[in-house]
Structure 1
Amino acid sequence: MFDKVLASRLNNRIEIHREQIIQGELGDKREYKLYKKVWADIIPLSANSITTSEDFEYTDTKFKIIMRKVDINQADIIYYKGIKYEISHIIPAFNKNNYIEVHCILKKEYYGEL
C-alpha cells in the first residue's frame, strides 16, 4: 500500500547527468552527459540567503529528491526543468523499500543592486 502511494507522487521527470571523458583533437576533456531520466518527488527543505559583499548575494536552497533505487553517485548532477541541483548526499529511505533519498542543493547567485 505504502509503495503505491509513494509511486503516485513520483511525478517529476528528472535527468541524472554523469561526468564522462570525451576525446577531442586537443586531448581528453571531462563533461557531464545525460546518463538517465527517472521519475521523482522533489521536496523543498530549507533556504539560506548569504550576502558576501555590497553587490553580491547567493542563496542555497536544499531539496530532498525521492526516487526508486537507481545507480547514482554523489558526483552526478541532477537537472529538473533546466535547473541544476548538486548532490550533497544519498541515503536509503529506510521506511520505503526500493527507494532512495537524494539530498541536493540549488545555488543561485545575484550580482549588482539587490
Structure 2
Amino acid sequence: MAKFYVQSGTVRIIVQAESSRKAALWAVHQTMQQVLPTADDADQTPTSKSEKANTQGFAVLASKVTVSERGFDRNDASTMSTIEVVAEWNQMVTTLDRLERMLYQAA
C-alpha cells in the first residue's frame, strides 16, 4: 500500500491506502468520527467526545480534499470535492450498518 498525505481544512493526515480515493475516505471517516457514533469509538461517551473536542479542538473539512503521495501542500496533489467523498463515506457506513443488522438478525 502507498502512503498518502491527505488535507482539507484543518485536517492533515498521513494514510496508507490502496488509492488516493480510499485515503480521502479514511480521512473523512476520522473527521466524522469526532461527532458521529461509529463502531470504532463505541467505548467513548458523548461527554468524553465533547471534552476531547474542547481540549483538542475539532477537525474541520474544507470544500476540497487534496491527496498527494509526495507530501502536504503540493501543487501536483489530486483534488476531490469534499461533499462527494462524504457522500461516498455515508453510503459505505449505511451499507455496513445494514450488513451488521442482517448478521445480528440471522444469529
**Same fold, judged at TM 0.5 (above):** no
Q: Which has the higher helix share?
A: 2
TM-score of the aligned structures, taking structure 1 as reference length? 0.34
Q: Which has the higher strand share?
A: 1
TM-score of the aligned structures, taking structure 2 as reference length? 0.36
